[in-house]
Amino acid sequence: MKIQEVASKYEKYQVEMRRYFHQYPEVSGKEYETSKKIKEELDKIGVPWVDCGLETGVLATIKGSKPGKTILLRADIDALSVQETTGAEYASKNEGVMHACGHDCHISMLLTAAHILNDMKDDLCGTVKLAFQPAEEAAIGAKAMIADGALKGVDAAFGIHIWSDVPAGHVSCSEGPRMASADLFKIDIKGKGCHGAAPHQGVDAAVVTASVINNLQAMASRQTAPVDPIVVTVGLVEAGTRWNVVAENAHMEGTTRCFSQEVWDSIPVLMERTVKNTAAAFGAEAQVSFDRFIPPTVNDASMAELARESAVKIMGEGAPIDSPVTMGGEDFAYYAKEVPAAIALLGCGNEACGAVWPQHSGNYCVDESALIKGAMLYAQVAMDYNAK
């Protein structure tokens, strides 16, 4: 029995589920109704599940009739604080919340894959765990599920992210770094306030801030290897209290992104040295703090190859393509740090149906005909994993 034959029974279900979850999006850590619906759908087909990770994570298990290793398939389930502007008949009913990154597609694809794999248990070797993971956008869901035992006994992991920059009918799953780290840094500058007409009597935190911002760019141009890209962005700056007073204090917040684990490890050291030495040159003091959200997402070579081979079986010889890496972050990285893993970017872009908007846009939409292929890809990778 081929996966395509089994999947044909669930094409309508796939779209119905996607549209249901799209209408009722919930933000990170608050996916209560989403989680409830996932459990109901699993119960309908007798697939056992347990709560796993925060209050809303769900971990289901399908055991094949033949022995083999265990693979985890992951779908994230949270939405974004974005106002939907698509005008679709199934648009979000939750004001100011939208599945603008395609996680509704991920849920429906993995649920459909659960149906397919459950129907094919007699042909399945080993065990498949299905992780419906909360709070990806907050970068805490994967860590919570792992801490709760999601990877216990797991030999490998595979995930799919629907991707607007990849044309529908194609999939990208190259080995090596695919998505960047994502961290939040905060910098506080302590100077000395004085009259704006006599700046020599104080230490201007605003001037120090300007120098810090400029010097931080040397992390990319002079302190890390040119072949290891790094982004240092200061997105928020606050300094001073009045137009004719030298600023005594300043505050900055920003993000760093990179693809190298070595660079990621070095960022706090480089930044603290740059910031504190710059401030000291002006006679100011500085404090740097980090929220380390996500390390780089690095695809294991063998798992990436397996995914490409599975994609050919599902979508044809020309399906796998190369696409550029992205500086966006993905907490799938935490699974990949523990077991051999790969995440595939499934194409959903199609000008003919208006699927031309980028992720996180209020107009974001997808070519829904691609979604059943994503469900089949989940299932095919699970079937092929123990066949290698």
Q: Where are the domains of the chain?
A: 3-177+296-385, 182-294
Residue 266's pLDDT is 95
Residue 178's alpha-carbon distances to 56, 229, 265, 301, 344, in angstroms, are 27, 13, 18, 12, 9
Q: What is the pLDDT of residues 122-156, one digit of tens each?
A: 999 999 999 999 999 999 999 999 999 999 999 99
Residue 254 has pLDDT above 80, yes or no: yes
Mapping DSSP onto H, E and C, the string for 232-262 reads EEEEEEEECCCCCEECCEEEEEEEEEECCHH
Confidence at 331, pLDDT banded by 50, 70, 90: very high
Q: What is the pLDDT of residues 209-249, one digit of tens each?
A: 999 999 999 998 989 988 999 999 999 999 999 999 999 99
Q: How far, in whole angstroms, is CA 63 from its chain's centroid?
A: 28
Q: 32-44 and 11-23 helices cross at what angle (nearest 10)?
A: 160
CATH number of 3-177+296-385: 3.40.630.10
Dihedrals φ, ψ of 313, to 5°? -65, -35
Residue 387's pLDDT is 81
Confidence at 8, pLDDT banded by 50, 70, 90: very high
Buried b / exposed e along 115-151 (16+ C-beta atoms within 10 A):
bbbbbbeeebbbbbbbbbbbbbbebbbbbbbbebebb
β 49-51/66-76 pair status: unpaired
In terms of C-beta density within 10 A (0-12 exposed, 13-18 middle, 19 or more buried), how is residue 222 classed? exposed
Q: What is the mean pLDDT of residues 31-38?
A: 98
DSSP secondary structure string, 134-182?
--TTTT-HHHHHHHTTTTTT--EEEEEEEEEEEETT-EE--SEEEE--E
In terms of C-beta density within 10 A (0-12 exposed, 13-18 middle, 19 or more buried), how is residue 236 classed? exposed
Residues 6+ apart with CB under 8 A from 103: 21, 75, 76, 77, 78, 79, 136
Contact 179/325 with Cβ under 8 angstroms? yes
Question: Percent of the chain having pLDDT more than 70?
Answer: 99
Contact 17/7 with Cβ under 8 angstroms? no
3-class DSSP state of 335: helix
Q: What is the pLDDT of residues 290-312, one digit of tens each?
A: 999 999 999 999 999 999 999 99
Residue 388 has pLDDT above 70, yes or no: no
Q: What is the mean pLDDT of residues 62-81?
A: 97
CATH number of 182-294: 3.30.70.360
Confidence at 51, pLDDT banded by 50, 70, 90: very high
Contact 133/56 with Cβ under 8 angstroms? no
State the CB neighbour count (10 A cutoff) for residue 87.
8
3-class DSSP state of 228: coil
Residue 86 has pLDDT above 80, yes or no: yes
Question: Percent of the chain having pLDDT more than 90?
Answer: 97
Confidence at 2, pLDDT banded by 50, 70, 90: confident
pTM attached to this predicted model: 0.94
In terms of C-beta density within 10 A (0-12 exposed, 13-18 middle, 19 or more buried), how is residue 242 classed? exposed
CA distance 60 to 227: 41
CA distance 202 to 219: 29
Residue 92 has pLDDT above 90, yes or no: yes
State the CB neighbour count (10 A cutoff) for residue 201.
11
Residue 1 has pLDDT above 70, yes or no: no
Is the alpha carbon torsion for 26, 164, 161, 259 positive or negative? negative
Q: What is the pLDDT of residues 176-221, one digit of tens each?
A: 999 999 999 999 999 999 999 999 999 999 999 999 999 999 998 9
